Structure 1
Amino acid sequence: PNTASEADLLRLGLPKWTVKSILNYCAKGGIFRKKEDLKKIYTLDEEDYTRLEPYIMLSQTAAVEEAQRPVTYSGGNLTTAVPKLSVKGPLDINRASLEDWQRLPGIGEKRARQLVNFRESLGGFLSVEQVAETNGLPDSVFQKIKPMLTLNFPEVRKLNLNAASFDDLDKHPYISAKQARLIVAYRDQHGAFASVDDLLKIATFSDKKWLEKVRPYLDIR
Structure 2
Amino acid sequence: MSVTKKEWNGLIVLLILITLVLAAPGVYKKLHPYKLVNPNGFDEAAARLPKMDADTTKLNNVKLFLFDPNHLPDTAWQKLGLNEHQITTIKNYEAKGGRFYNKADLKKIYAISSDDYKRLAPYINLPEKSNYTAKTNAVVDINTTDTIKLTQIGGIGNGFATRIIRYRDRLGGFCKKEQLKEIYGIDSAMYLDIAPFIKIDARKISKININHPDKDRLLVFPYLTYKQKNAIVEYRNQHGDYTQLSDLKNIPIIDDGILRKIEPYISFK
Q: Percent identity?
A: 30
Flag the structure with more relative contact order, 1 or 2, with Cα contacts below 8 A and sequence separation at least 6.
1
Tell me how far 1:99 sits from its aligned partner: 0.5
Tell me how far 1:209 sits from its aligned partner: 2.3
Partner of 1:134: 183
Tell me how far 1:167 sits from its aligned partner: 3.9
Query: Is the CA contact 1:84–1:104 (under 8 Å) kept in the aligned structure 2?
Result: no
Partner of 2:212: 163
Query: Is the CA contact 1:90–1:148 (under 8 Å) kept in the aligned structure 2?
Result: yes
CA distance in 1, matches of 2:132, 2:265: 33
Listed one character per residue, the Cα deviations across residues 133-157 of structure 1 (whole Å, up to 9, x for unaligned) are: 2233233221211122222454211
Listed one character per residue, the Cα deviations across residues 11-44 of structure 1 (whole Å, up to 9, x for unaligned) are: xxxxxxxxxxxxxxxxxxxxxxxxxxxxxxxxxx
Structure that is richer in helix per residue: 2
Pair 1:83 & 2:133 matched: yes
Query: What is the number of equivalent residue pairs in this alignment?
Result: 142
Structure that is richer in strand per residue: 1
Pair 1:199 & 2:199 matched: no
CA distance in 2, matches of 1:116, 1:82: 22
Of structures 1 and 2, the larger Rg is shown by: 2
What runs of 5+ residues in structure 2 fail to find an aligned partner? 1-100, 103-124, 126-130
Whichever residue aligns with residue 163 of structure 2, its letter is Q
Pair 1:120 & 2:141 matched: no
What runs of 5+ residues in structure 1 fail to find an aligned partner? 1-70
Partner of 2:263: 215
Tell me how far 1:121 sits from its aligned partner: 1.1
Query: Is the CA contact 1:106–1:141 (under 8 Å) kept in the aligned structure 2?
Result: yes
Whichever residue aligns with residue 203 of structure 1, its letter is P
Listed one character per residue, the Cα deviations across residues 187-219 of structure 1 (whole Å, up to 9, x for unaligned) are: 1222211222211011222x2122022111001
Partner of 1:143: 192
Query: Is the CA contact 1:94–1:151 (under 8 Å) kept in the aligned structure 2?
Result: yes
RMSD over aligned CA atoms reads 2.4
Query: Is the CA contact 2:173–2:202 (under 8 Å) kept in the aligned structure 1?
Result: no
Listed one character per residue, the Cα deviations across residues 146-183 of structure 1 (whole Å, up to 9, x for unaligned) are: 12222245421110111115543221111111111111
How high is the TM-score relative to the length of structure 2? 0.48
Whichever residue aligns with residue 86 of structure 1, its letter is T
Query: Is the CA contact 2:144–2:204 (under 8 Å) kept in the aligned structure 1?
Result: no
CA distance in 2, matches of 1:84, 1:176: 41
Query: Is the CA contact 2:170–2:217 (under 8 Å) kept in the aligned structure 1?
Result: no
Query: Is the CA contact 1:82–1:99 (under 8 Å) kept in the aligned structure 2?
Result: no
CA distance in 1, matches of 2:248, 2:263: 10
